[in-house]
A and B are shown apart, each in its own frame.
Chain A
Amino acid sequence: MTTPLLYALAGALLCGIGLFGLLWLRHLLRKLLAFNIMGSGVFLVMVGLPQHQSGPDPVPQALVLTGIVVAIAATALAVVLIRRYYHLSGMSSLEDEPSPRGDDPE
């Protein structure tokens, strides 16, 4: 058990939390947050596991760097889509329910 392995296992847990949130939450922005947390978990596994085996490894680090930039672009596009959907339908969740859980207008 080394420090990078601890982070890799934390990444696995974050993946699980994110997946559950993605499936269970109704509000689209919350689903987006869950998706981002799942992505962070994947990045932690990708960097932590090789580092546990053979020290700091620049190759997965470069790949994760690329992944982070693609993730922010995907998040921004998702926000545009969610706002467009809300603009057209007046709903902030996919199901046809009048008030999704946790939709607190604050």
Chain B
Amino acid sequence: MLPTLSVSQFLTQINDIIAGEFVIEGEVSQYKISQGKWIFFDLKDKTGCLNCFSTVFMLKQPLEDGMRVRVSGYPKIYEKSGRFSFTVQFVEAIGEGSLQRAFQLLKAKLHGEGLFNLERKRPLPRFPARIGVIASGDSAAWGDFKRIINNRWGGVEILLRHVTVQGDSAIQDIVSAFREFNESAELYDVLVLIRGGGSLEDLAAFNSEEVVRAIYTSRIPVVCGVGHERDESLADLVADVRASTPSNAAERVVPERREFFSELDFIKDRWIDSLSHVVQLLRQDVGQYQQMMFSGLEMRLGRLRDFVRSSEMLFKNIDPKSVLKRGYSITRDEAGQVIKRANQVDKGAKLVIELAAGKLEARTTKPLSPSLPL
């Protein structure tokens, strides 16, 4: 005789029997989110249908009807409703079409949150001293990165944190690497996340919300260089600088030696130009002083010339000859001495009178007022 169970007891027993983790593959249908928190959808194949349940918090990847997915979780009958449901803890898209759709949906969601906004992109320091690299240590991407850095620049310390870039542990590994570098953020000028190209499935980690958020919250600016130019990953979109390839990432983080040398030469030329300009100005100043000196001299000469001219006039006016022309005459004694007083000559003395034209000889008959003062 079977024991009689209560409904709750029966459900508990059933739940114990079916307990366990399962991975199931199927196509999504009737996908809906309730109250912004609860996710319900059916997982179908040609003949079967499975009710699935999850929460927005657990399922980072938005889904859409028709997508092929692989879910992992556990089955359960809910006591209150008696409804059988598969609780989904993790989901991943399968096949190029579904992956593409999953990529687009997540991209739209994160874009809506502003994670790809250009305003939040940080500039990189021009001369980084220490660079943190997150890459697979044996990848061609890491090899290319090192080679290009060494070709371009010197004196940089590069620290590689090796990560698995593909497979189940890739997401956690990359997220940890970002956390570890950020624990001593002040030591690093830039972080570089690189890997070679691949299919959408290969790049799954670089398109995962966890890695995108790790880049978004990094306190150190991030350069992302994934695959070849045609590959676009969500990690690229959220990074501060998006490099097209790992080699391009190296080009974006350090300057090029020869270009820098040309810049140095250019700077030096500008200093020299500045000095030449000063010399030119000084030369102009000297020219101006010269000019000023010449015009000063010119002015002095002019004044001298004027002085000579006026002196000439003065001399002309006091020349005795010109006085004689006005009717005056000069009287001299026999010795040629100019007679200025009447008492200078005796009666009968011979005098020579000079006129404006010619001379007269005369004799004194009587000096008048002999002692008249001059």
Binding between chains A and B: no
B residues in contact (CB < 8 Å) with A: none
